[in-house]
Chain A
């Protein structure tokens, strides 16, 4: 076990280095720079812009810029936003609360819906419950979030006038009123995201439970007269969870990555909106930092998923 763990961690470290190189190259080769409006503004002399490019080091060769970045990163220096002119770390830290609040809650909610609904649907396949759950799930992932979000706004904010549709990170209320305001402004973005996510997760859970439920040992367990609840929880779920764990491990880093479209619609100041505005402005240090943290999280969660496999099914031999 120890040697497996060691080797797996080594691979993960290699992945992180590889990812950072690929990311850096992609961003350096990608078109565009931060000067957006400046270059089309006739009031700014071209040599001023050329001077800025040079001072920001944008004219150096890629590998030198990469080494500079990596050395700074090792010392905990995240770099400096070219647009905001502040430390990237500071920018990211500002965005984390809203992201956790909205995207994190949505993911938990999605899991809380998908697990029971998926298991129940699989226990009685093609029952009325299963049909309804499946159809709702299909509706869920065939509508893009920009569309459902808008429907929600039109219904709950415009027509009914119940909920605000602009998310504020600095509510002035305190205590109970704060919780109430926070709840009101979170309902729509969280629901939109959770429904979209739950739709596909329900399908995964249902399908993997269906796979397992017919296996010999489950049939054996049943024939031994074990109560259905025990069969499902002890024998089915444990095995069915393997593919589910895979999918969830892949999706969890998204909590950090944010939800670009939903954040845009409800003006949630999360990491997703930071990423998209940085991409639009070509603010490379910020894009690099956000995507690199995201990459590290993906690799970390995959590592955890691999370890979980062993725990869920000791027969799996990973070498």
Chain B
């Protein structure tokens, strides 16, 4: 999904190849299902996410609460459905931000020898060297009030988290893409294209990028998982969404202490994260194979 635009030039054959990848198809279906459930689910299961019912606290799954309740007696199904929207959106958007910025910078650096390359790698190093946690504290502290005033607390924090989680994760992608570019640039088929007078942009888009994307997709799909988990760490530090927004990572975090007495509470968000990560990674696998022109199987 992340590489939709890059997949376009070779669309028909790519799709055919993608279809052959059974696990990728299963992954697409599962992710599609998850997205549908999360988007449409709250319309059907209309229990509010924050109704507190102390009599039903830590209840096991039942007809009234299909996934049970947490320690305030709040309905877990409703919370998971709502939280899924946030978590999936955070994961996917943060990954997109990281991959797009990273690929762009990595590609420019990899193609332009000399000072520009050196400068871009210097910037990348600099960003890599920055400690995430204090930087997060600063950014959120500086911009939270301004953004919340502009677009409301949840959207404001959402934009910030995407920017922060994505914005601090593009560096590995950039270095990876550059490393790929450095080797692929020197390969025979690119040299051939160059000899035939292909423009730089054409070299990149048609020959180098598709061959460089394999590892990028892997990093991208892994970073979806990382972003979902990173969001839960932020909540833990009091920097994430308002405390009453039930993201998956946060539900899992709240549930961990109760693991021995109310395992269902942790089980369902854990399962949701796992299914998402699994399906996205299988899709990534399929995409990588499909994008590879010389795939032999």
Contact = CB atoms under 8 A, between A and B. Distances in A.
The reply, when asked whether chain A contacts chain B directly with Cβ atoms under 8 A, is yes
Q: Which interface class (under 10, 10 to 19, 20 to 34, 35 or more) fits B? A: 35 or more
What DSSP secondary structure best describes chain A's contact surface? helix
B113 A317 contact: yes
A166 to B, nearest CB: 17
Contacts of A12: 125
B179 A139 contact: no
Interface string B79-123: 000000000000000000000000000000000011001100110
Given A30-B134, A203-B218, A295-B130, A158 B175 contact: no
Given A143-B274, A200-B222, A247 B176 contact: yes
Contacts of A103: none
Given A30-B141, A142-B277, A302-B125, A243 B225 contact: no
Q: Which interface class (under 10, 10 to 19, 20 to 34, 35 or more) fits A? A: 35 or more
A186 B66 CA distance: 40
Contacts of A141: 222, 225-226, 277
Contacts of A207: 214-215, 217-218, 288
A250 to B, nearest CB: 6
Contact of B130 (A19, A138, A211, A317): A19
Interface of B: 23, 113-114, 117-118, 121-122, 125-126, 128-131, 133-135, 137-138, 141-142, 171-172, 175-176, 179-180, 182-183, 186, 188, 211, 214-215, 217-219, 222, 225-226, 229, 232-233, 249, 252-253, 256, 259-260, 266, 270, 273-274, 276-278, 281, 285, 288, 292, 294-297
Kindly list the 8 A-B residue pairs having the minimum CB-CB distance in the complex, ordered from nearest. A295-B129, A142-B277, A291-B131, A19-B129, A30-B138, A315-B186, A142-B274, A207-B218
Interface of A: 7, 11-12, 14-15, 18-19, 22-23, 26-27, 29-32, 125-126, 131, 134-135, 138-139, 141-144, 146-147, 150-151, 154, 158, 200, 203-204, 207-208, 210-211, 214-216, 239, 242-243, 246-247, 250, 257, 260-261, 275-276, 279, 287, 290-291, 294-296, 298-299, 302, 309, 313, 315-319
